[in-house]
């Protein structure tokens, strides 16, 4: 139970860590959008090199990054298998068939692209969360969504709810551990019986957990109140986020890369031949 971590922040001293979190969030969104413009293996390969370079610069161990792929391994497999099984292409493309299963060459290529797309898609946000603390992220989100507060959306309140929730996750995990131990010591059995029985056995854990969560929420509210917390109005920040030169540089790099991907895709200025050359090189 102790290993549960929602924020997977990996502390290190790198340029990527020091970038403005707002910018990182924007870049991450750009990256995700960009992935959907890629259609060739060349594009995927370039993007893979790009993201690996980012990981390298961020000084996060590669293994740590790849670990996040564990969560989507089933999704990838599922997608690949379904694509391969249900794809119906040209009869002349047929590679292998038996019973109702027909496997086409185009299906394999499609499945490969799909898998690459999902994997690359996940890697972007992974790098973001590994190099940005959850608090920075919520702050960044709050700043970026600030325009919405003009149409009466309580952006600040939502952000503070989110940061409090993030803050309390480890505390609750610890508390759950303690209560489970205490009830086990009273002979509670969480391991045997059918699903229904087990769900019922969790009741003596959940009720104390709810009770203490309410108590904690109450106490926190008092503590905030006694320090004159009044919501967003007139509230200043201790850490003011400022864009610096390195943020502009990072943005330029990302924009340039995006541009290259677009060039490859749409053959602007008729330089798609470069892509051809690269593709042959592979």
Residues near another protein, by CB under 8 A = 2, 175, 178-179, 181-189, 203-204, 207-208, 211-212
**Residue with tokens 């394999």, as numbered in its chain:** 108
Q: How far is the CB of 62 from another protein (least distance, A)?
A: 16
Residue number, 168 or 279, with CB nearest to another protein: 168
- CB-based contact 103:84 (threshold 8 Å): yes
Residue number, 186 or 237, with CB nearest to another protein: 186
Residues 190, 200: Cα–Cα separation, whole Å: 9
142: CB partners within 8 A, 6+ apart = 155, 156, 158, 159
Q: How far is the CB of 67 from another protein (least distance, A)?
A: 13
- CB-based contact 162:135 (threshold 8 Å): no
Residue number, 188 or 224, with CB nearest to another protein: 188
Q: How far is the CB of 59 from another protein (least distance, A)?
A: 15
Residue number, 151 or 185, with CB nearest to another protein: 185
Residue number, 138 or 183, with CB nearest to another protein: 183
Let me know if 55 is exposed, middle or buried by CB neighbors in 10 A (0-12, 13-18, 19+).
buried
Cα–Cα distances in Å, from 158 out to 229, 231, 273?
Answer: 15, 11, 49
Instruction: State both tokens at 45.
Output: 């390969």
Q: What is the DSSP letter of 72?
A: G
Q: How far is the CB of 254 from another protein (least distance, A)?
A: 32
Q: How far is the CB of 18 from another protein (least distance, A)?
A: 24
């Amino acid at each position: 139970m102790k290993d549960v971590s929602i924020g997977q922040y990996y502390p290190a001293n790198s340029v990527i860590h020091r970038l403005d979190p707002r910018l990182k969030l924007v870049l991450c969104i750009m990256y995700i959008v960009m992935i959907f413009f890629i259609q060739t293996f060349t594009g995927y390969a370039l993007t893979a090199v790009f993201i690996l370079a980012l990981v390298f610069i961020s000084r996060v161990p590669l293994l740590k990054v790849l670990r996040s792929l564990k969560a989507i391994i089933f999704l990838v497999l599922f997608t690949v298998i379904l694509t391969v099984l249900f794809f119906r292409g040209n009869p002349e493309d047929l590679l292998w068939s038996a019973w109702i299963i027909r496997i086409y060459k185009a299906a394999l290529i499609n499945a490969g692209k799909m898998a690459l797309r999902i994997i690359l898609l996940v890697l972007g946000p992974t790098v973001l969360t590994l190099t940005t603390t959850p608090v920075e992220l919520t702050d960044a989100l709050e700043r970026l969504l600030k325009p919405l507060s003009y149409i009466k959306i309580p952006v600040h309140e939502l952000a503070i709810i989110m940061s409090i929730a993030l803050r309390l996750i480890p505390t609750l995990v610890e508390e759950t551990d303690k209560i489970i131990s205490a009830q086990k010591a009273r002979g509670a059995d969480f391991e045997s019986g059918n699903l229904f029985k087990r769900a019922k056995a969790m009741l003596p854990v959940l009720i104390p957990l709810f009770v203490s969560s309410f108590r904690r929420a109450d106490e926190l509210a008092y503590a905030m109140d006694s320090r004159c917390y009044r919501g967003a109005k007139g509230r200043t920040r201790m850490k003011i986020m400022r864009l610096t030169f390195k943020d502009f540089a990072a943005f330029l790099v990302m924009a340039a890369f995006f541009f290259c991907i677009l060039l490859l895709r749409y053959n602007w200025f008729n330089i798609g031949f470069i892509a051809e050359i690269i593709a042959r090189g592979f």
